[in-house]
Amino acid sequence: QSVLTQPPSASGTPGQRVTISCSGSSSNIGSNTVNWYQQLPGTAPKLLIYSNNQRPSGVPDRFSGSKSGTSASLAISGLQSEDEADYYCGAWDDSLNGQVFGGGTKLTVL
Amino acid sequence: EVQLVESGGGLVKPGGSLRLSCAASGFTFSSYSMNWVRQAPGKGLEWVSSISNSGSYIYYADSVKGRFTISRDNAKNSLYLQMNSLRAEDMAVYYCARGDGDYVSSPLEYWGQGTLVTVSS
């Protein structure tokens, strides 16, 4: 069982807006910033969003993140076929003294 | 360009040992924390271990504590993971990942391509 909780799957049609939720606790999301990682099929994960809502250089502004209390969410607007991937939320956990991840959400573009 | 290249994976018997290496280039290695993250076949990401830029702070997941040892050689721009007493459940692709700062809790900004560790008799 993953420390952070994500829905196992999400889907949308091209152009739609989809959101992926991530639920944690006071020792991780509640006290540290949230990061999101995108893993395209057969590739290594890539940092997509850091510090709750910051995009690394090169990440389209269609991707956005937010955090409230012990939960966070990733929003993808103007969905494109190349967005089909697994998405993981992550954060530092002060009790476990380590990085924790969600179980991952497989996004399907219909 | 930041590059992280893992090596050392392979087939090992249960109870055996393996040492993974991660060669870093394109940045000042001694200024950043480093991490190992693994992914079992068809499964999600699992953090394994983190080490601060100087090596002063080291943390392990409970699942590997006492069996795995993370280390770094800043003179050689290299990160290592010594894995002992390997179990079937350790079978995974192991990724080397760089933090975006010198602190161990920083986001994992860059990832290597991974090296596969197979534990089987």
| Tens digits of residue pLDDT in A30-66 | 999 999 999 999 999 999 999 999 999 999 999 999 9
The predicted structure's pLDDT at residue B62:
97
**Which chain A residues have a beta carbon less than 8 Å from that of B92?**
none
pLDDT of residue B102: 86
Q: Are A59 and A51 in contact (CB under 8 A)?
A: no
Tell me which residue in B44, B97, B114 faces A104 most closely, judged by beta carbons: B44
pLDDT attached to residue A53: 98
Give yes or no for a contact between B21 and B78, defined as CB atoms under 8 angstroms apart: yes
CB B50 within 8 A of CB B34: yes
Mean pLDDT, chain A, as a whole number?
97
> pLDDT grade, residue B119 (50/70/90)?
very high
Nearest-CA residue of chain A relative to B35? A99
How many angstroms separate the Cα of B113 from the Cα of each of A39, B3, B44, B60? 12, 9, 16, 21
pLDDT digits (tens, 9 = 90+) for A70-85: 999 999 999 999 999 9
Does the pLDDT value for residue A4 go beyond 90?
yes
Tell me whether residues B100 and A50 touch, CB distance under 8 A.
yes
Average pLDDT, chain B: 97
Pairs across A and B, CB distance < 8 A:
62
Q: Which residue from B45, B62, B100 is facing A101, i.e. has the nearest CB?
A: B45
What is residue A2's predicted lDDT score, i.e. its pLDDT?
94
User: B50-78: per-residue pLDDT in tens?
Assistant: 999 999 999 999 999 999 999 999 999 99
- Return the C-alpha torsion angle B96, B92, B57, B103, nearest 10: 50
